[in-house]
Structure 1
């Protein structure tokens, strides 16, 4: 089945947790902990990330991304989970338009932060987030892909 959404690598830190998890039950105890992980990619359809714990398809998961203050927090659902190294790679999907739009904005912020790091490495310029956003928008916003919603 072809992918519906274009993926963009990000590698940004996020936190995933199980909402309303009952840690009093022994079989849930380890899954109730919040895990700080890295995203592998992100798109309007969802994201994939590393996880130290196996997750079940259909399971609700809270995703928190700290790119701004306050952080962006939403609920998604596990689409798939597969073993990778000593942990798991998890696909998390978002279904409603408002969340999809918000994730798209987060995706743009990810691109801007990557641009900021690239400019520091390649040119030695330490841009503020605002200056990086202004430059990135001028150079790349017109080519940023639009997604069907």
Structure 2
């Protein structure tokens, strides 16, 4: 019996991503479905063979986080008519960039929620300080 236990926890996060097959030069766009330290998944209109090398980019604020990845699976979702495609990051730098992009997005979302709850504006810096104070230890454990 095969052990299907995940090595990394996946965080559901929907962010725009840009992908380019290494052998091609035209970037194409999609949205991520979830992200983990080891990779991410997204829906794609076409089958992408396992082992295909991709260059991924996640735009966050005014930065573009670029990562190298390899397709792990591409499975047709009949209800959507798309292929759920999972990729694994090819190196620790790519994994770190993905995690950093995720943290920036989480801080932005946290700021928006706190502004709604408090009924007042919160600076990006204050939101980041609060977020980091609550989550820095978990982030450090991943890459420390």
User: After TM superposition, is the score higher than 0.5?
Assistant: yes
Say if 2:66 and 2:97, in contact at 8 Å, map to a contact too: no
* Counterpart-to-counterpart distance in 2, 1:128 and 1:12: 22
Change (3 A) 1:127 1:56: farther
Say if 1:43 and 1:107, in contact at 8 Å, map to a contact too: no
* Counterpart-to-counterpart distance in 1, 2:16 and 2:123: 19
Structure with the larger strand share:
2
Q: Give the gaps of 5 or more residues in structure 1.
A: 22-31
Q: Which residue of 1 aligns with 2:128?
A: 133
User: How far apart are 1:115 and its partner, in Å?
Assistant: 1.4
Q: Give the gaps of 5 or more residues in structure 2.
A: none
**1:13 maps to 2:21:** no
Aligned residues: 139
TM-score of the superposition, structure 2-length normalised?
A: 0.81
User: How far apart are 1:72 and its partner, in Å?
Assistant: 1.0
TM-score of the superposition, structure 1-length normalised?
A: 0.78
1:57 aligned counterpart, secondary structure: coil
* Counterpart-to-counterpart distance in 1, 2:81 and 2:119: 37
- Name which of 46, 49, 61 aligns with 1:56: 49
Say if 2:18 and 2:58, in contact at 8 Å, map to a contact too: yes
1:53-84: per-residue Cα shift (whole Å, max 9, x none)? 22110001111110143311122110111112
